[in-house]
Structure 1
């Protein structure tokens, strides 16, 4: 007896077979869609590059003068400047008690006048005696005595003048004057203080001139020459300078040398500020790739290139300067070689990828960035 298959069961079987066939056709497309991360490529290109050295260092006074007095045991009676004040050469900065010195100077002046009067009298007596000796009214021995008296009076005048000059010098020491134009950078004295000779009382930045100093390793020091320009970013602006001097040697222990850069217009920079500077050492060409193409692993730099149409391989490179979103490749790549520019950080050696145009990859990244859960 023949078995009869219900119509509804036959319909189910046929639909299941058709569904299976349709799914088999969609599997390759789905497999292709999931074949790897979408990436974009960029070539390594030779481009002009301004050669520079980045290094940090302090801003210092070009010449900072420590000022003091040459008298001991004197009290400060007047302090005429303060920190940050600009002064000119010869300006009085502070005064010491000079009453005793004034008295000594007056006494020395009186002694000098007395000696000059004695010299005048001795000169007149000698001239009169010389006239009388010509008519033999005065003996030669008397004339010799008059001559000796005159010479003695001249010596006394010289001694009195020297004593007077010494008293004047001590009086001048009671006033501390600026040895040059500049800016007072430090004050270590107060009015009424009794000071000692040679102790530092004030500090002066000569001409208000500042410079930037930095320590460079020996391999970078050799690239810097006198006259190279310097750029110091600070307080939202850039202070320009120029290398004034480069140390002729390096320290035996640290293996570094010092560079000195003049800052004609320091702006907001102050002595003691520590800033990073860029020393422009010249111009040239360099092999450049996008900065996003560099992957840091285990302390080394790598880029990813295409091993074939769907697989990437990792190459170790040595990098140099960075400029405008691109980085220099010193070693490890050839010009024109394609590297993964977007998505390199998510890939490893041998991963499968899909190469898409850079614009499409950027649009996709932007879209993904706006769809946050």
Structure 2
């Protein structure tokens, strides 16, 4: 049975109404649905994440000391050579060794005294004999003087007695001189320290027969050390007597000295000039060891960064500058003086650019970071 045109129109009308209701319900559900937080979280997760957490600091202007570095050696301020003054005597005892601290006048060694003691006794006996001869000659001369006007003695006899007196007096003085010399030789059997100090070398051996002038010991006078730094002719003009010098010994000891003198001429081989720096006494200072020194020349302003921000790669120094988007940019810098935890930057970074400090050693170019205080 075929539908009439009026029925067809009604059917399409109801279909249109039903479709409109469905569209209305769908539109109402869409506008009433709250935003899903999961979508925002996913969108956030989809963005780049910071690779590291770092702290930043801006370069600062600081007053740093101006220093001139030099290398050199620690040597004895003065070394005394202690030798034998007697010839052909045997060393009976040696009382000190290398490294011993001694006082002026302390007995370092002794020679056998038998020979010199015998010489001393003989000299004393000769002196006594000379004294007796002088007394006898003086008595004869006195008698001759008392009676020379009486005519009992001729003029030649009187002159003879007076001459004998003079000869006896000369013999007495000679005997005294010989005794003094033997006493000196007897005293020289004891080798004494010429000054306070430390024994730096020993050549004395018990039982050895030494010759006069042979060195037995070397003594660092007053235990004083000095640093002899080498500077170039172009640098020596900046150094003055009395300037402070920070000396670092091979052991790591840091000690402050003072410039005592500057050599008047350069070394003919190195063409460098020696600067003599007095050092305070310290047990760790050893003569002959290497040391470096820094001459204090004043102060100057400098741009500095924390030492932790300096990253060394492939033999060069770098810092990482953090831009407003928290991205790290690697910058090659030229460093200068280092004082404590601050390092001078000569070029490569500006004063208003923040640099990474803690964690800088783990960064690479264009890394995204999280900055914390």
Same fold (TM > 0.5) = yes
Q: Distance in 2 between matches of 1:308 and 1:223?
A: 45
Give the equivalent residue in structure 1 for 2:183.
168
State which of 288, 291, 307 in structure 2 corresponds to 1:291: 307
Distance apart, 1:266 and its partner CA? 0.5
Report what 1:198 is aligned to.
Answer: 213
Do structure 1's residue 87 and structure 2's residue 99 form an aligned pair? no
Are residues 1:68 and 2:83 paired? Answer: yes
Name the structure 1 match of 2:274. 258
Distance 1:87 1:281, change over 3 A: same
Pair 1:150-2:165 in alignment: yes
Shift of 1:327: 1.2
Shift of 1:69: 0.4
Residue by residue over 1:57-95, the C-alpha shift from the partner in whole angstroms, topping out at 9 and shown as x without a partner, is 544332222222022332111222233333222222211
Q: In the comparison of the two structures, how many residue pairs are matched? A: 336
Partners of 1:117 and 1:94 in 2: how far apart? 39
CA distance change for structure 1 residues 187 and 252 in 2, over 3 Å: closer, same or farther?
A: closer
Backbone CA RMSD of aligned residues: 4.0
CA contact (8 A) 2:92 2:206 kept: yes
Is the 1:39–1:353 Cα contact (8 Å) retained in structure 2? Answer: no
Q: Does residue 188 of the first structure (1) align with residue 211 of the second (2)?
A: no
Greater CA deviation, 217-226 or 79-88?
217-226
Deviates more, 1:292-301 or 1:308-317: 308-317
Q: Write the deviation string for residues 238-261 of structure 1: whole angstroms up to 9, x where unpaired.
A: 544434334344435434333333
- Cα 1:35–1:229 change in 2 (3 A) is closer
SS in 2 for 1:46: strand
Residue 230 of structure 1 is matched in structure 2 by 246
Select 1:126's aligned residue among 114, 123, 141.
141
Structure 2 residue runs without a partner (length 5+) = 1-39
Unaligned runs of 5+ in 1: 1-24, 360-373
Aligned residues of 1:229 and 1:281 also touching (Cα < 8 A): no
CA distance in structure 1 between the aligned counterparts of 2:77 and 2:278, rounded to whole angstroms: 8
Q: Is the 2:311–2:318 Cα contact (8 Å) retained in structure 1? A: yes
Q: Note the C-alpha offset of 1:356.
A: 5.6
Is 1:37–1:352's contact at 8 Å kept on the other side of the alignment?
A: no
CA deviations on 1:1-48 (whole Å, 9 max, x unpaired) are xxxxxxxxxxxxxxxxxxxxxxxx999978962799987764332202
Q: If the length of structure 1 is used for normalisation, what is the TM-score?
A: 0.71
Match of residue 122 from structure 2: 107
Q: In 1, are the aligned partners of 2:197 and 2:219 still within 8 Å (CA)?
A: yes
2:62 pairs, out of 10, 35, 47, with 47
Q: Could you list the per-position Cα deviations for residues 183-235 of structure 1 after superposition, in whole angstroms to 9, with x for gaps in the alignment?
A: 22333222222223322222222222233444345565554442405354787
Highest CA radius of gyration, 1 or 2? 2
